[in-house]
């Protein structure tokens, strides 16, 4: 399994998103976690809102029953979404982390992300919260989710810590940040820089880009694997999967990993076999030709 440096730890380039685990039986989650670890996937992504806190609580039960697991996993969680609004205030960040730690039955998390940008955020408040969390040992590293480069720069202007992660929705069928870079200096709709050069900014600042919904064709619009709307894409994925001796979803993950940034694919599956498939992606390096072939098969055109 390929890894990337994450808070001085080696994190797997495939991570497990825990949004959907709340409805699992504990034995099923145990199998899921052990399958991931058996395939060298050690990164688990949570959020305080996943399952209304049940996802963290269920995962925490595993850690409580088997404390040795904690040293084998890298735990990340997120906060800022609650009560129908976004909240990056100092008080909420601190309260949220205390809840996260209690549910996960751990003294610390390896990384905390601000889940979505709060229009009313004050960088100085965030800095005070992060300083307190770092000083207390409750959080080792910090990042953001769904933010553009200017929001990252604004928050960073007051911080004493480097933001190490930006988590963004990205898949073959949903990659506006990549589309904008390819279509620079054209009048195509794809040329609009909605992301403000965020991917390039993350690369320049060596931030890990975590891709969520890596198989989705839109904002929770369903997966493109097996979708007749993406027949050509699925044909190419099938052909390349046969070539590499893997599954189509592994090729889709490998496409993301081929992008030359510190990419970490966050898969939201609750099925052990799909975790095995995802692990295969870390061993595949697509050629430039195959990467562009997949991109165009999704319906994209080059200028």
Answer yes or no: are the C-beta atoms of 126 and 93 closer than 8 Å: yes
Do 123 and 153 meet the contact criterion of CB atoms below 8 Å apart?
no
Q: Active site includes 50?
A: yes
Q: Where are the beta strands (DSSP E) in the chain?
A: 3-6, 9-12, 14-17, 43-45, 74-79, 81-82, 85-86, 111-114, 142-145, 163-169, 208-212, 262-267
Sign of the C-alpha dihedral computed for residues 22, 27, 30 and 36 taken in this order? negative
Catalytic residue of the set 50, 92, 230, 253: 50
Count CB-CB contacts under 10 A for residue 18: 27
Three-class SS of residue 91? Answer: helix
Report the run of H or E that residue 212 belongs to, with start and end: strand 208-212
Enumerate helices (H) and strands (E) in the chain, giving the number of each: 11, 12
- d(CA 159, CA 130) in angstroms, rounded, equals 8
3-state secondary structure of 220: coil
Structural contact between residues 122 and 152, judged by C-beta atoms closer than 8 angstroms? no
- Written as six digits, the tokens of 220 are 């929770």
90-103 in b/e burial notation, b at 16+ Cβ within 10 A? Answer: bebbbbbbebbbeb
**257 three-state secondary structure:** helix
Q: Cα–Cα distance between 56 and 101 in angstroms, integer? A: 9
The rounded distance, in Å, linking the Cα atoms of 295 and 174 is 10
The residues annotated with a catalytic role in the active site are 50
């Amino acid at each position: 399994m390929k890894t990337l440096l994450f808070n001085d730890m080696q994190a797997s380039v495939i991570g497990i998103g825990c949004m959907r685990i709340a409805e699992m039986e504990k034995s099923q989650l145990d199998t899921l976690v052990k399958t991931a670890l058996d395939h060298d996937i050690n990164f688990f992504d949570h959020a305080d809102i996943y399952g209304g806190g049940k996802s963290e609580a269920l995962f925490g039960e595993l850690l409580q029953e088997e404390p040795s697991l904690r040293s084998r996993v890298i735990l990340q969680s997120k906060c800022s979404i609650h009560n129908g609004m976004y909240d990056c205030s100092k008080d909420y960040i601190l309260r949220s982390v205390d809840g996260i730690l209690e549910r996960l039955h751990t003294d610390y998390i390896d990384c905390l992300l601000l889940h979505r940008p709060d229009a009313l955020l004050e960088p100085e408040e965030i800095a005070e919260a992060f300083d307190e969390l770092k000083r207390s040992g409750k959080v080792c590293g910090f990042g953001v989710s769904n933010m553009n480069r200017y929001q990252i720069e604004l928050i960073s202007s007051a911080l004493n810590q480097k933001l190490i992660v930006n988590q963004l929705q990205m898949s073959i069928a949903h990659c506006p940040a990549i589309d904008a870079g390819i279509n620079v200096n054209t009048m195509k709709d794809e040329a609009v820089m909605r992301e403000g050069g965020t991917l390039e900014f993350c690369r320049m600042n060596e931030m890990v880009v975590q891709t969520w919904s890596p198989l989705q064709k839109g904002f929770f619009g369903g997966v493109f694997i097996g979708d007749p709307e993406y027949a050509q894409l699925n044909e190419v994925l099938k052909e390349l999967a046969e070539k590499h001796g893997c599954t189509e979803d592994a090729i889709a993950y490998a496409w993301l990993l081929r992008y030359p940034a510190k990419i970490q694919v966050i898969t939201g599956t609750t099925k052990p076999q799909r975790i095995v498939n995802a692990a295969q992606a870390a061993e595949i390096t697509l050629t430039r030709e195959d990467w562009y072939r997949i991109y165009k098969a999704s319906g994209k055109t080059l200028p």
